[in-house]
């Protein structure tokens, strides 16, 4: 095996320690037949196991909070899927044991997902984790997962289920490396929230021998196998320099020559606020409101419940800017009362704003709740719609905001290439743009953000993606309006400089990335950022763009 392996760095920092592997998958249960009179008992066992696993996932989410809570609650809904449970009970009725019925029912559903296009195929890892947890409970064996250890280690896995990532103990898990996943996968997002160095999409990671010493650089994506004392010392020195730079950087985001770039936080709910405030966020650039709607997939939360949650976040940023994204349901965030279950490709169907326009009462309720939550607070509330495709979409959203009496700026997310290409048209209806680079990359390159095999195309350094960012920023400047980035691209410090050079007016990211971006911006002038942006756009690949920008910023 090469001394240096290269994957995709998704969470900053350096981890040096012994490799420990994730537990293996649950063994396939035997295909034992049961007598007809045993069926009711086995069906009851299956239902109890499903409910127990769902409750465990919800409890893990409550412990983790923030984005992790939303992800795990979505997994709990998957465990309780009524169609899956009906299939399990049908298989038991014709002679299968509870554990075998669960295994076979999930296998059939897995095959459907795997063959339904890349977007749905990305949910297979989450589905496998739910199956393993239910089968393990039925077999009475421990759920394979994060290894028990008294000594810190680097975790190696084919992939990490959200339930495992969410509750990693940073005191023991120094970092992690996975063969699958991508820069915008659930595990990558949660790793950044935890502040754990991580590398994903690393071919051959599973071949690392147990106990092998590895050095993981979550910034570069490099994993050194059996690093020499000199290499370890150099990595430690570089990490210490980074820490010193972070400690020295404070205050509002700005380039070294004083060009202001507000640095905002992405939050999934009130639980994320403390970390954002501690990291010095100047406000919220993306308040994901889905967490409220995942509690009950059968109906929308009451306006009173929404007001309480929204107001808690708004109060945390007096005089600050808080950008709220209205409900983004559909595709990988299905809700029974909103999203159709029979769409052939939900990612290209009724999701985001399209869902809300089909169910205007849900949108009106959310907008009224936001208006009430902001009453009397000295906060700059801005509200934006997800998945805006054109001016017609933007107009429909702006009209809904005005009808709800919302005193706030109305904006549109640029996640579909058509919105970037026609940004000036969209801006005739709304007051700002916010680029969701995760979905924008997904739709630009037809590359599912959850599939490691296409992570090359999910790389936010792809020049074509930078072209779309530039088009949006130029349109906003021409219209005298703002254009921020709230996708994961903003969390890369070097790319943050490039985005600034492209004309982006604010950057929003996970709280853990804010110090890195603030420190890096503070060491470069606006002119350097503009030259780096031009060099990146002139490149032919993501790797070339990354190298070209880094060369400009380092003065080479």
- Asked if residues 254 and 260 have their Cβ atoms less than 8 Å apart, the reply is yes
Q: Single out the catalytic residue among 486, 497, 524, 529.
A: 486
**Two structure tokens written together for 25:** 């998958």
Cα separations in angstroms, 150 against 147, 159, 171, 173, 500: 10, 23, 10, 10, 44
Catalytic residue flag (residue 21): no
> 213, 216, 238: which is closest to 227 by C-alpha?
213
- C-alpha torsion sign, points 63, 439, 130, 17: negative
Q: Single out the catalytic residue among 12, 186, 359, 524.
A: 186
- Asked if residues 291 and 269 have their Cβ atoms less than 8 Å apart, the reply is yes
> 527, 517, 413, 534: which is closest to 463 by C-alpha?
534
How far is it, in rounded angstroms, from Cα 172 to Cα 195?
13
Phi, psi of 468 (to 5 degrees): -70, -35
Catalytic residue flag (residue 497): no
How far is it, in rounded angstroms, from Cα 440 to Cα 430?
19
- Asked if residues 362 and 338 have their Cβ atoms less than 8 Å apart, the reply is yes
Q: Is 312 exposed, middle or buried (0-12, 13-18, 19+ CB in 10 A)?
A: middle
CB atoms within 10 A of CB 421: 17
Q: What is the largest CA-CA distance in the chain?
A: 79
How far is it, in rounded angstroms, from Cα 412 to Cα 405?
18
**Two structure tokens written together for 462:** 């792809």
The residues that are catalytic are: 186, 486
């Amino acid at each position: 095996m090469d001394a240096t392996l290269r994957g995709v760095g998704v969470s900053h920092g350096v981890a040096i320690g012994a490799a420990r592997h994730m537990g293996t998958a649950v063994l396939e249960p035997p295909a034992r037949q049961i007598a007809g009179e045993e069926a009711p008992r086995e069906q009851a066992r299956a239902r109890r196991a499903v409910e127990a696993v769902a409750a465990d996932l919800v409890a893990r989410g409550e412990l983790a909070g923030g984005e992790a809570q939303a992800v795990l609650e979505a997994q709990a809904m998957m465990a309780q899927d009524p169609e899956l449970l009906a299939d399990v009970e049908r298989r038991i009725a014709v002679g299968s044991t509870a554990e075998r019925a669960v295994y076979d029912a999930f296998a059939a559903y897995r095959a459907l997902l795997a063959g339904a296009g890349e977007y749905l195929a990305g949910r297979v890892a989450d589905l496998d984790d739910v199956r393993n947890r239910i089968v393990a409970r039925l077999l009475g064996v421990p759920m394979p997962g994060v290894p028990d250890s008294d000594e810190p280690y680097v975790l190696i896995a084919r992939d990490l289920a959200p339930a495992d990532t969410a509750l990693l103990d940073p005191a023991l898990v120094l970092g992690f490396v996975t063969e699958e996943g991508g820069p915008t996968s659930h595990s990558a997002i949660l790793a950044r929230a935890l502040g754990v160095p991580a590398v994903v999409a690393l071919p051959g990671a599973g071949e690392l021998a147990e106990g092998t010493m590895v050095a993981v650089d979550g910034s570069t994506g490099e994993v050194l196998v059996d690093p020499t004392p000199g290499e370890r010392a150099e990595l430690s020195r570089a990490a210490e320099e980074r820490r010193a730079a972070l400690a020295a950087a404070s205050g509002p985001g700005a380039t070294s020559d004083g060009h202001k770039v507000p640095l905002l936080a992405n939050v999934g709910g009130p639980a994320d606020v403390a970390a954002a405030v501690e990291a010095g966020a100047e406000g919220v650039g993306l308040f994901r409101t889905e967490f409220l709607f995942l509690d009950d997939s059968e109906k929308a939360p009451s306006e009173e419940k929404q007001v309480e949650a929204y107001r808690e976040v708004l109060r945390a940023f007096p005089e600050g800017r808080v950008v709220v994204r209205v409900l983004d349901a559909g595709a990988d965030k299905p809700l029974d009362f909103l999203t159709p279950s029979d769409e052939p490709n939900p990612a290209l169907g009724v999701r985001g704003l399209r869902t809300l326009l089909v169910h205007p009462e849900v949108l009106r309720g959310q907008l009224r709740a936001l208006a009430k939550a902001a009453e009397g607070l000295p906060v700059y509330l801005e509200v934006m719609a997800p998945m805006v495709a054109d001016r017609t979409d933007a107009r429909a959203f702006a009209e809904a905001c005005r009808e709800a009496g919302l005193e706030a700026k109305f904006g549109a997310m640029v996640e579909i290439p058509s919105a970037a290409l026609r940004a000036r048209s969209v801006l005739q209806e709304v007051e700002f743009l916010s680029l969701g680079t995760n979905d924008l990359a997904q739709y630009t390159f037809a590359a599912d953000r959850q599939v490691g095999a296409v992570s090359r195309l999910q790389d936010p350094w792809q020049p074509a993606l930078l072209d779309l960012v530039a088009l949006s920023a130029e349109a906003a400047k021409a219209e005298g309006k703002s254009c921020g980035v709230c996708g994961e691209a903003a969390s890369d410090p070097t790319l943050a400089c490039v985005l600034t050079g492209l004309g982006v007016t604010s950057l929003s990211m996970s709280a853990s990335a804010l110090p890195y971006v603030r420190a890096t911006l503070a060491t470069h002038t606006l002119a350097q950022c503009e030259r780096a942006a031009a060099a990146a756009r002139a490149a032919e690949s993501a790797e070339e763009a990354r190298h070209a920008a880094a060369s400009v910023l380092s003065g080479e």
